[in-house]
Structure 1
């Protein structure tokens, strides 16, 4: 069971948003490389990153700090935000990124996801961000009529390495992960699911150790880590035993 520390990038800095609102960004570190090194020193094994500006722009905007982290920090990294073409995917994987997360383009062009999985097996994840059970796109600025499970099942058999499922209404506000919806998704697909959005405390860590949670690959934590609400050594010890 993996606990993924999150680095969300806005204007080159580590921030956390509330419910995806770019106007409600709290800066936690001006130096993303330093933050990644801190996470590595704490014992985390895998880093989750999002280029928030890129999600709106449709192309990578915060590429420099991501490249520096890939180069200078000995951790596998998965990245989402503004990656919407095969050229984008190839460029990032060539730079040493471990896994690319496709969000908006997975809704707009599912065939591209299939092609990417064929070209880069094991390195393509799909980000499904939901508001009220419907898939949101374009940096969460738009909500589609597409159901979460409906989208996930489009990629059965495609070779998608993981689905990162985020409940936008809980993201960044420390109310706890929407475990019911996450497990419902995990049961509806054979693709490994990573929970995201709202991880709040050690109670969520305890939840991750329950037998029914073994359907998941792990969960992402952002604000709760930055705020010190997670006892990292204890959390990692518990999850390493699962």
Structure 2
């Protein structure tokens, strides 16, 4: 199972939100590229980047910070937030992103997801963010009424590289991930599923891994707070 350290970007800074609330942001640093280099230096295989302002604006906002990260590290990076048209997808991939994450458009314009996945095999993921199993979009501000599992199944034949499943109620709360819901989703589809939201300890990571069906896990606050030692976690997951 791959561990993805998270760098969430708000106003050019590294932050973590509590349950997606922009007003509940904790700033962890004002040099995202340096944070990316620290994660890469610890041995991570991937980085997970989120343009939080972009998720609300519907277009990239923290582009300069993302580009600085891409210039600083060699590990592959995936990015979500404000990516809602083909021009933006093409632009980011051309700048060196390994993978784009499409969230809001997966609900509002699924044809774009399919088009992008065909055009860029292995480089398009779908972000499914849910409260109690119901998908929320536009920076988690809009509840859609769509069930997370139904949305995931709708992309089974699209060729997407992964599904990033976030339990919004767990995100940033340090209360543990929703293992049951994530495992159920992973068993419902053949697309690799990456868990996001609530990972607070090495035990959480091991529990996700031990389901045998979850392909990856994203952690942010626990790494910044020191609740998870990145190098130790990577060593444990490699065993």
TM-score by length of 2: 0.98
Q: Counterparts of 1:11 and 1:22 in 2: how far apart (Å)?
A: 11
**In the comparison of the two structures, how many residue pairs are matched?**
239
Q: Counterparts of 2:159 and 2:205 in 1: how far apart (Å)?
A: 29
- 2:228 aligned partner: 230
Instruction: Extract unaligned runs of 5+ from structure 1.
Output: none
CA contact (8 A) 1:208 1:239 kept: no
Query: 1:167-195, CA deviations, whole angstroms, 9 ceiling, x for partnerless residues?
Result: 00000010000000000000110000000
1:216 alignment partner, SS class: coil
Q: Counterparts of 2:43 and 2:63 in 1: how far apart (Å)?
A: 25
Pairing 1:26-175 to 2, within 5 Å after superposition: 26-175=26-175
Deviation at 1:217, TM superposition (A): 1.3
Query: 1:149-169, CA deviations, whole angstroms, 9 ceiling, x for partnerless residues?
Result: 000011011100000000000
TM-score by length of 1: 0.97
Deviation at 1:45, TM superposition (A): 1.2
Larger displacement relative to structure 2 (33-42 or 198-207): 198-207
CA contact (8 A) 2:205 2:217 kept: no
Deviation at 1:21, TM superposition (A): 0.1
Query: 1:121-160, CA deviations, whole angstroms, 9 ceiling, x for partnerless residues?
Result: 0000000000121000000011111000000011011100
CA-atom RMSD, angstroms?
Answer: 0.8
- 1:23 aligned partner: 23
Deviation at 1:42, TM superposition (A): 1.0
Deviation at 1:71, TM superposition (A): 1.5
Query: 1:48-91, CA deviations, whole angstroms, 9 ceiling, x for partnerless residues?
Result: 00000000000000000101111221110000000000111000
Instruction: Extract unaligned runs of 5+ from structure 2.
Output: none
Pairing 1:156-195 to 2, within 5 Å after superposition: 156-195=156-195
Q: Counterparts of 2:208 and 2:189 in 1: how far apart (Å)?
A: 19
CA contact (8 A) 1:12 1:32 kept: yes
2:125 alignment partner, SS class: strand
Q: Counterparts of 1:63 and 1:231 in 2: how far apart (Å)?
A: 28
Deviation at 1:238, TM superposition (A): 1.4
Residue 215 (structure 1) aligned to one of 209, 213, 222? 213
1:214 alignment partner, SS class: coil
Q: Counterparts of 2:205 and 2:132 in 1: how far apart (Å)?
A: 24
Query: 1:94-140, CA deviations, whole angstroms, 9 ceiling, x for partnerless residues?
Result: 00100000000000011111100110000000000001210000000
Query: 1:207-229, CA deviations, whole angstroms, 9 ceiling, x for partnerless residues?
Result: 1342xx22111100000000000
CA contact (8 A) 1:100 1:123 kept: yes
Q: Counterparts of 1:238 and 1:53 in 2: how far apart (Å)?
A: 34
CA contact (8 A) 2:179 2:208 kept: no
CA contact (8 A) 2:202 2:233 kept: yes
